[in-house]
Amino acid sequence: MKKLLLLTFAVICIGIIIPCKVHAVDISIGATTWYSWWDFDSGSDYDADIDPTFLYGPALSVKFNDDFNLTFVYLYGKYDMKTTYEDSGVSVTEKGTVKRKDSDTALNYRLNDYFKVFAGLKYMSFLQDFNHRGFGPGVGLSATYPVAENLFLLATFSGFYLWGEEGSNGDYKEYGFNSTLSLAYYIASASTTVSLGGRFQYVKTDYDEDYAESGNKNSNTKSKIYGVTLTATYSFNI
């Protein structure tokens, strides 16, 4: 399934790029950061207290023509986490670090001056003493509304469905949604856009039977990850 998704997405992108190769391509490249809080519900008596942290990474957009553009965003960060659970009637507390990776690659299609639809691929992983990683499709809608000269209101909403594995614990299916709202200002003299806003992500993980049989009390978990985003990109054409 993963290979089929990659192949299908690649064929669609190539089909768009080839007719546009004689025209100028607009590129925006820069960096993004997300200061985020993570509320984790284990679905059992396992409690996790996670400190907020910065996720950061590159942001890229390639505009092929007036209707299509390809976007890529990658975020990485480390969360400090304290877990508490009962072991033989004794409360046990452990501290650790969780490394998180979150990337989105999407092909966007312009509906009109305000709205775009997009579809693409999402990868998300959490690394602690095990590697929890998933991959799958995502679809969504984005909106751009001009507020004043060079100032825009941006909003997106998307859903995703991932297939993943968690080390020797077993496979899982993961689904949820992302929503963002931000103000963007285009600095014409520097060909740079700076945006400030917020992002909310909801993720539900459903584990297969192997996970329950391995001794875990819960078969699903829920996460709410939210916070402030800041992005700066430089635009040029080739």
- Is residue 16 very low, low, confident or very high in pLDDT (cuts 50, 70, 90)? low
Q: Are 103 and 123 in contact (CB under 8 A)?
A: yes
Burial of 133 (0-12, 13-18, 19+ CB in 10 A): middle
Sign of the alpha-carbon torsion through 5, 10, 15, 16:
positive
Q: Two tokens at 127?
A: 């690394």
More confident residue, 129 or 33: 33
- pTM for the model: 0.87
- Is residue 157 very low, low, confident or very high in pLDDT (cuts 50, 70, 90)? very high
180-230 pLDDT tens trace: 999 999 999 999 999 999 999 999 999 887 665 555 545 688 999 999 999
- Is residue 1 very low, low, confident or very high in pLDDT (cuts 50, 70, 90)? low
Burial of 22 (0-12, 13-18, 19+ CB in 10 A): exposed
- How many beta carbons lie within 10 A of that of residue 107, not counting itself? 18
For the chain, first and last CA: distance in Å?
Answer: 35
List the single range of 54-58, 147-151, 162-166, 192-196 with lowest mean pLDDT.
162-166
Give all domains of the chain, ordered by start, each with its CATH number: 2-229 (2.40.128.100)
Q: Are 201 and 175 in contact (CB under 8 A)?
A: no
More confident residue, 167 or 119: 119
Is a pLDDT exceeding 80 seen at residue 7? no
Is a pLDDT exceeding 70 seen at residue 122? yes
Backbone angles phi, psi at 130, to 5 degrees: -145, 165
Q: Ranked by mean pLDDT, which of 44-48, 93-97, 193-197 comes out on top?
A: 193-197
CA dihedral 126, 233, 136, 75 (to 10 degrees): 0
Of 181, 224, 221, which Cα lies nearest the Cα of 202? Answer: 224
Calpha distance 77→223 (Å, rounded): 16
Calpha distance 98→50 (Å, rounded): 9
Q: In which region does residue 150 sit, left (phi positive, over 0), alpha (psi from -120 to 50) or beta (all else)? A: left
